């Protein structure tokens, strides 16, 4: 009988001599063993679904830059929220497209208790009380210049904006919002919102801070969706974080935590997984990431052209957030992912 002779590597050693008999492929050999040792798991409980709102009744508008995503009138948003709840999605986040006639320099329509965000919140909460509702108190959907704050002589004024954002947050809480998620990146907004909510009896309404929102190139399709792309004058670099900066992002998060943030968010997502990991490791606070419109649209476009397997890329991208330390992910893929996980 022939005796097996270990193969020699180019340097004269056997593979066992090189690896010390530690063969990492052993646990990859079968599906059951790969599942047994999988380190991170994606579940429907990790998903938050952002939806876009539009005025009217029975309206469903396609967004060309975001294939598969639509703007919904309130009645249809209620139906989609019901479907999301049946899939087990814990929460939705709403973003409105406001008619241009309702916009002005200061975004004052955000202070109307009957604006689109607040009407949608009331309707969804009445029909689907078991699903969480996250609302954004930033002004950009409501301003005629597309900025997240009040514009005075070419400058986004911080303190006046904070005062208005805090007042809007109270109105959103009164409508039934469970989590206020202000994306404006003004200094001091978290503390002001917390004080305003508490003073008005909304101590149980949480704050998800867009603690580290970067001046990114990945927001384009979103701005199409809410109708601000053609309005934006200049850029948002005076209040969003420079994509080159890590330490500044940590300082922003630290400040928001000190002011009363219950959760942190990183935006965009995939290009900033290092930020997710640093924040989760540093603060151990519930940490989320927003897989933004540009990330979504790139995957959809590449899949439509046959360049990638869209379903696998979608799942892999979202699992990457879990690996980096996310407790949850805001993603336009949420219904697709939930259906796949359910099946």
State the pLDDT at residue 315: 97
- Phi, psi at residue 246, to the nearest 5°? -95, -50
Domain coordinates in residue numbering, the chain: 41-342
State the pLDDT at residue 21: 76
State the pLDDT at residue 13: 79
Q: Is the dihedral of CA 218, 224, 227, 228 positive or negative?
A: positive
Tokens 């599906």 sit at which residue? 31
Angstrom distance (rounded) from CA 175 to CA 263: 21
Q: What is the pLDDT of residues 124-148, one digit of tens each?
A: 999 999 999 999 999 999 999 999 9
CATH class given for the domain over 41-342: alpha beta
Answer yes or no: are the C-beta atoms of 151 and 124 closer than 8 Å. no
Q: What is the pLDDT of residues 212-259, one digit of tens each?
A: 999 999 999 999 999 887 888 789 999 999 999 999 999 999 999 999
Tokens 């087990």 sit at which residue? 88
Catalytic residue status for 267: yes
Q: Please name the residues in contact with 90: beta carbons below 8 A apart, sequence gap of 6 or more.
A: 44, 45, 47, 48, 131, 132, 328
In the chain, the largest separation of any two C-alpha atoms, in whole Å, equals: 91
Tokens 């109708």 sit at which residue? 227
Write down the catalytic residue from 125, 267, 280, 300.
267
Bridge pairing between strands 47-54 and 287-291? unpaired
Q: Please name the residues in contact with 176: beta carbons below 8 A apart, sequence gap of 6 or more.
A: 121, 122, 124, 125, 126, 133
Tokens 């050693």 sit at which residue? 13
The distance from CA 107 to its chain's CA centroid, rounded to whole angstroms, is 23
Q: Please list the alpha-helical segments (H only) found in 113-219.
A: 116-127, 158-175, 189-199
Write down the catalytic residue from 103, 125, 213, 236.
213
The count of other CB atoms within 10 Å of the CB of residue 41 is 9
State the pLDDT at residue 215: 97
104: three-class secondary structure by DSSP: strand
| Average pLDDT, consecutive stretches of 10 residues, N- to C-terminus, the chain (343 residues) | 57 74 86 89 97 98 96 98 98 97 96 98 98 97 95 94 98 98 97 98 97 96 88 90 98 98 98 98 98 98 98 97 97 98 89
By CB atoms closer than 10 A (0-12, 13-18, 19+), residue 24 is exposed
By CB atoms closer than 10 A (0-12, 13-18, 19+), residue 203 is exposed
Query: By percentage, how much of the chain surpasses pLDDT 90?
Result: 86
Taking the CA of residue 322 as centre, how many other CA atoms within 13 Å lie in the half-sphere pointing to its CB? 15
Angstrom distance (rounded) from CA 37 to CA 6: 29
The token duo for 38 is 């999988």
Answer yes or no: are the C-beta atoms of 227 and 175 closer than 8 Å. no
* Run of H or E residues at 179: strand 179-180
Q: What is the pLDDT of residues 71-93, one digit of tens each?
A: 999 999 999 999 999 999 999 99
């Amino acid at each position: 009988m022939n005796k097996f002779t270990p193969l020699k590597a180019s340097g004269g050693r056997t593979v066992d001599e090189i690896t010390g008999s530690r063969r990492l492929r052993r646990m990859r050999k079968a599906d059951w063993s790969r599942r047994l040792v999988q380190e991170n798991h994606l579940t429907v409980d990790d998903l938050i679904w952002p939806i876009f709102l539009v005025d009217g009744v029975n309206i469903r508008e396609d967004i060309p830059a975001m294939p598969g995503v639509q703007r919904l009138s309130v009645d249809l948003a209620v139906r989609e929220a019901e479907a999301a709840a049946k899939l087990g999605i814990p929460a939705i986040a709403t973003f409105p497209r406001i008619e241009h006639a309702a916009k002005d320099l200061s975004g004052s329509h955000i202070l109307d208790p009957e604006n689109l965000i607040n009407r949608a919140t009331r309707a969804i909460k009445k029909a689907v009380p078991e699903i969480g509702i996250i609302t954004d108190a930033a002004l950009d959907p409501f301003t005629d210049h597309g900025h997240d704050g009040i514009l005075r002589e070419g400058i986004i004024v911080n303190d006046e904006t904070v005062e208005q954002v805090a007042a809007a947050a109270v109105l959103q809480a009164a409508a039934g919002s469970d989590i206020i998620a202000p994306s404006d990146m003004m200094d001091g907004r978290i503390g002001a919102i917390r004080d305003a909510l508490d003073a008005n009896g909304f101590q149980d309404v949480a704050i998800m801070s867009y603690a580290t929102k970067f001046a990114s190139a990945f927001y384009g399709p979103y701005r199409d969706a809410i109708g601000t792309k053609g309005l934006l004058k200049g850029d948002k670099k005076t209040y969003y974080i420079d994509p080159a900066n890590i330490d500044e992002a940590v300082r922003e998060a630290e400040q928001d935590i000190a002011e009363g943030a219950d959760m942190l968010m990183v935006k965009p997502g995939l290009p900033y997984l290092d930020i997710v990991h640093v924040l989760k490791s540093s603060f151990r606070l519930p940490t989320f990431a927003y897989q933004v419109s540009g990330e979504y649209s790139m995957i959809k476009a590449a899949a439509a052209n046959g360049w990638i397997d869209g379903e696998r890329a979608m799942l892999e991208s979202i699992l990457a957030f879990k690996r980096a330390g996310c407790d949850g992910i805001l993603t336009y893929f949420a219904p697709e992912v939930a259906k796949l996980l359910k099946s």
